[in-house]
Amino acid sequence: MKRILLNFLLIIGILLMSFMPEKRKNAEKDTGEFKWITEQFADAKILRYKVPGFENLTLLQKELIYYLSQATLAGRDITYDQNCKYNLLIRKTLEAIYTEFKGDRSGDDFKNFTVYLKRVWFSNGIHHHYSTDKFFPEFSKDYFASLLRGTNLQTLPLKPKQTIGDFINEITPIIFDPDIAPKRVNQNPEVDMVAGSASNFYEGVTQKEAEGFYSSLRKNAVKTGQDTMVAFGLNSKLVKENGKVVEKTYRVSGLYSKAIEEIVFWLNKAMNVAENPGQRIVISKLIDYYDTGDLKTWDEYNILWVKDQKSSVDFINGFIEVYGDPLAKKGTWEAMANFKDVKATKRTETLSRNAQYFEDNSPVDPKYRKKEVKGVTAKVITAVQLGGDSDPTTPIGINLPNAQWIRKEFGSKSVTIDNITYAYDQASQGNGFLEEFAGSQEEIDLAKKYGYLAGNLTTDLHECLGHGSGQMMKGVVSESLKNYHSTIEEARADLFALYYIMDKKMIDLGLVPSPDLAKAEFNSYIRNGLMTQLVRVHPGKDVEEAHMRDRSLIAHWVYEKGKVKNVIEKVQKDGKTWFRINDYHELRSLFGQLLGEIQRITSEGDYPAAKELVETYAVKVDPGLHKEVLHRYAKLNIAPYSGFINPVYTPVIANGIIKDIKISYTGDFTTQMLRYSKNFSFLPAR
Ligand code: ZN
């Protein structure tokens, strides 16, 4: 659930895309001048994405998208401020220097200054977007002071009557002192996680006070018969006022009002050009919520949003994911505007429609199969605008809403964002990763021809069918496998996908163009599971993360079991290692066997067997191979994290009426961020 980057797609997706960019290769070569990677700095690279199909939308749809895109940008400052209370002050100061500094802009110091500014933009603040550790500039305090002194004072966010000297003294430690705001999210249970986190959801309250506040809110709701299902605390900051703990709600006339008013302004415009009455109500409910900050309204909105399966244009906009709060209560603002990719959605619909066939023919003991299976409907979307916490780094799939009770009663929307995955794929072309780790030219060619589609299809099979397949024996609950549950569950879904990607049915359904597609997928999976995913493991460490364990388990198990028939061969030459698949059909049959066993383990809740499998095949790393892989990877100089530049949308207006919305892919990262800061900065620096 939630953001798919934190689920299956976390690995298959964002990280895998950035660390192992060979995972999805394009089916069609893109031609023309479009530059997928625009620049690279520190550990980040900046990509562009295209919006295919935009031109074919109706004028009304384009207009709707335009308004939603503005609503997506309007809350940008909120995310900065939520991430840390110093972020807007720092960003605005750095931007003022960047645009106004009159001194030498050509030396290494100034270059390092721009890198630091770009990193702040990339992470929506002064902490690394992924590790949440504060990062530091590669220039000196003295140089920073000289930058400030060389900048027009009027443009700096000084306090009234503050001298430049005082300002320098105020701001320098925030950037340079490792003891100030060292980590955005501190999840160490040994410390006060609220006090230890720099994220700006609590002020002047301890963890104990915060937890006490929310548990009494809940108790009170139970006692007085109020709604007990709402996500208490989701849209507020908890502060102490006059010795009392109080909530400052994010809403019109509340905290972040100026930015929220702008969001509401654009949502109102969007509402007026909604595609249908249902969508109109969805947007109107969201406006209600922003006006009141009422979490019950938020739930009502989510139910309406989930039920709207008809509209082509869709969006995400709100305080949603709680990863930024160590207590997992506070939602960070994020937004996205998108529309449905009708052609690609047919793919997932076809799978769902045939779910029963796949279940009935799976290589699993019939007693563990589902008698009646319901495929999950998932749609494929095209992102149009990313915003808030989803920008510039973004998930490639999203499954919302988060409220468990709504998911259970009304379901959820599961989307994959194809134009983003496509951009990742294109950006990975020619970075040398595939060429370095693929075992042969044939393997490289197959990956280039089928890898991208194969990756998408296995993801579809995994998500739409794999997780939903099989049934538990009476009395067995999913908790039976305890700490091995996630790994086994992901392996089950992966194996379902791997087994069926080679099935004739996939060709009959028109989803797979050639039997070679499965070969490309098998190559990539084995290469990844046995070797390349190790680039994300630190030397000396085990494989920890559930999806990585899942892939390690499967790859090592089939490698081991296939040894007699030499199904997968380890090739070593000039100090380098490759794995070559000699028998794809036998490999598929091994995937089937393991699926049968893993389904049995799941259905029976066989903890000892799960433990045995995971501990034997999934966890341990061959230190020699690990070292080799890290060395080979480092040589490629691939930035591990990716962020995106959004397209620019410009209304064409004649006689006060919008005649068209033009899309363009212009401007670099810096131009975009400066434009956003100029046009969408609605919150003060402090
Ligand atoms: Zn999964």
From residue 237, how far is each of 63, 83, 233, 314, 369 by CA, in Å? 34, 12, 8, 28, 48
How many of the other CB atoms lie within 10 Å of CB of 578?
A: 18
The per-residue pLDDT for 1 is 40
What is the whole-number distance in angstroms between the Cα of residue 234 and the centre of ligand 1? 26
pLDDT tens column, 655-676: 999 999 999 999 999 999 999 9
How many of the other CB atoms lie within 10 Å of CB of 357?
A: 17
Would you give the DSSP letter of residue 54? G
- Write out the two tokens for 137: 């500039």
- Which is nearest to 19 in space by CA: 676, 573, 639? 639
pLDDT tens column, 599-620: 999 999 999 999 999 999 999 9
Residue 64's pLDDT band (boundaries 50, 70, 90)?
A: very high
Residue 375's pLDDT band (boundaries 50, 70, 90)?
A: low
What is the whole-number distance in angstroms between the Cα of residue 377 and the centre of ligand 1? 15
The per-residue pLDDT for 32 is 55
What is the whole-number distance in angstroms between the Cα of residue 427 and the centre of ligand 1? 25
What is the whole-number distance in angstroms between the Cα of residue 492 and the centre of ligand 1? 9
pLDDT of 30 > 60? The answer is no
What is the whole-number distance in angstroms between the Cα of residue 545 and the centre of ligand 1? 13
Residue 33's pLDDT band (boundaries 50, 70, 90)?
A: confident
What is the whole-number distance in angstroms between the Cα of residue 493 and the centre of ligand 1? 6
- Using DSSP's 3-state secondary structure scheme, residue 287 falls into helix
What is the whole-number distance in angstroms between the Cα of residue 263 and the centre of ligand 1? 34
What is the whole-number distance in angstroms between the Cα of residue 463 and the centre of ligand 1? 6
Residue showing tokens 């199969």: 369
Domain spans of the chain?
9-24+36-76+255-636
pLDDT tens column, 444-502: 999 999 999 999 899 889 988 898 889 989 988 767 888 898 899 999 999 999 999 99
pLDDT tens column, 68-81: 999 999 999 999 99
What is the whole-number distance in angstroms between the Cα of residue 376 and the centre of ligand 1? 13
What is the whole-number distance in angstroms between the Cα of residue 401 and the centre of ligand 1? 17
What is the whole-number distance in angstroms between the Cα of residue 462 and the centre of ligand 1? 6
The per-residue pLDDT for 22 is 29
Alpha-carbon distance of 531 to 556, in angstroms, equals 10
The per-residue pLDDT for 432 is 94
What is the whole-number distance in angstroms between the Cα of residue 11 and the centre of ligand 1? 10
pLDDT tens column, 225-263: 888 889 999 999 999 999 999 999 999 999 999 999 999
Residue 18's pLDDT band (boundaries 50, 70, 90)?
A: very low
What is the whole-number distance in angstroms between the Cα of residue 73 and the centre of ligand 1? 31
What is the whole-number distance in angstroms between the Cα of residue 408 and the centre of ligand 1? 18
What is the whole-number distance in angstroms between the Cα of residue 166 and the centre of ligand 1? 53
What is the whole-number distance in angstroms between the Cα of residue 547 and the centre of ligand 1? 8
pLDDT tens column, 456-467: 899 889 988 898
pLDDT tens column, 278-335: 999 999 999 999 999 999 999 999 999 999 989 999 999 999 999 899 998 999 999 9
Residue 23's pLDDT band (boundaries 50, 70, 90)?
A: very low
Q: Which amino acid is at 427?
A: A
What is the whole-number distance in angstroms between the Cα of residue 468 and the centre of ligand 1? 10
Mean pLDDT, the chain, integer: 92
What is the whole-number distance in angstroms between the Cα of residue 544 and the centre of ligand 1? 16
Per cent of the chain over pLDDT 90 is 80
CATH class of the region 9-24+36-76+255-636: alpha beta
What is the whole-number distance in angstroms between the Cα of residue 459 and the centre of ligand 1? 9
Kindly state the helix (H) or strand (E) to which residue 55 belongs, with its residue range. Answer: none
What is the whole-number distance in angstroms between the Cα of residue 494 and the centre of ligand 1? 7
Residue 245 falls in which region: left (phi positive, over 0), alpha (psi -120 to 50) or beta = beta
The per-residue pLDDT for 228 is 84
What is the whole-number distance in angstroms between the Cα of residue 489 and the centre of ligand 1? 7
What is the whole-number distance in angstroms between the Cα of residue 620 and the centre of ligand 1? 22
Question: Exposed/middle/buried for 34, CB within 10 Å: 0-12, 13-18, 19+?
Answer: exposed
- Which is nearest to 465 in space by CA: 364, 314, 386? 364
What is the whole-number distance in angstroms between the Cα of residue 312 and the centre of ligand 1? 26
What is the whole-number distance in angstroms between the Cα of residue 5 and the centre of ligand 1? 11
What is the whole-number distance in angstroms between the Cα of residue 353 and the centre of ligand 1? 20
Could you tell me if 639 and 40 are in contact, meaning their C-beta atoms sit under 8 angstroms apart?
yes
Residue 21's pLDDT band (boundaries 50, 70, 90)?
A: very low
Residues of the chain by 3-state class (helix, strand, coil), percent to 5: 50, 15, 35
Distance of CA 627 to the CA centre of its chain: 29
What is the whole-number distance in angstroms between the Cα of residue 451 and the centre of ligand 1? 19
Would you give the DSSP letter of residue 376? P
- DSSP per-residue letters across 594-614: HHHHHHHHHHHT-HHHHHHHH
Residue 419's pLDDT band (boundaries 50, 70, 90)?
A: very high
What is the whole-number distance in angstroms between the Cα of residue 229 and the centre of ligand 1? 27
Alpha-carbon distance of 182 to 164, in angstroms, equals 25
What is the whole-number distance in angstroms between the Cα of residue 108 and the centre of ligand 1? 45
The per-residue pLDDT for 15 is 36
What is the whole-number distance in angstroms between the Cα of residue 4 and the centre of ligand 1? 9
What is the whole-number distance in angstroms between the Cα of residue 326 and the centre of ligand 1? 24
What is the whole-number distance in angstroms between the Cα of residue 474 and the centre of ligand 1? 24
Residue showing tokens 């998911």: 407
pLDDT tens column, 148-172: 999 999 999 999 999 999 999 999 9
What is the whole-number distance in angstroms between the Cα of residue 275 and the centre of ligand 1? 33
Alpha-carbon distance of 222 to 224, in angstroms, equals 6
What is the whole-number distance in angstroms between the Cα of residue 395 and the centre of ligand 1? 15
What pTM was computed for the model? 0.84
pLDDT of 51 > 60? The answer is yes
Which of 24-33, 58-67, 183-192 is predicted with the least confidence, judged by mean pLDDT? 24-33
Residue 12's pLDDT band (boundaries 50, 70, 90)?
A: very low
- Write out the two tokens for 668: 């670099």
What is the whole-number distance in angstroms between the Cα of residue 368 and the centre of ligand 1? 19
What is the whole-number distance in angstroms between the Cα of residue 8 and the centre of ligand 1? 4
pLDDT of 399 > 90? The answer is no
Could you tell me if 332 and 306 are in contact, meaning their C-beta atoms sit under 8 angstroms apart?
no
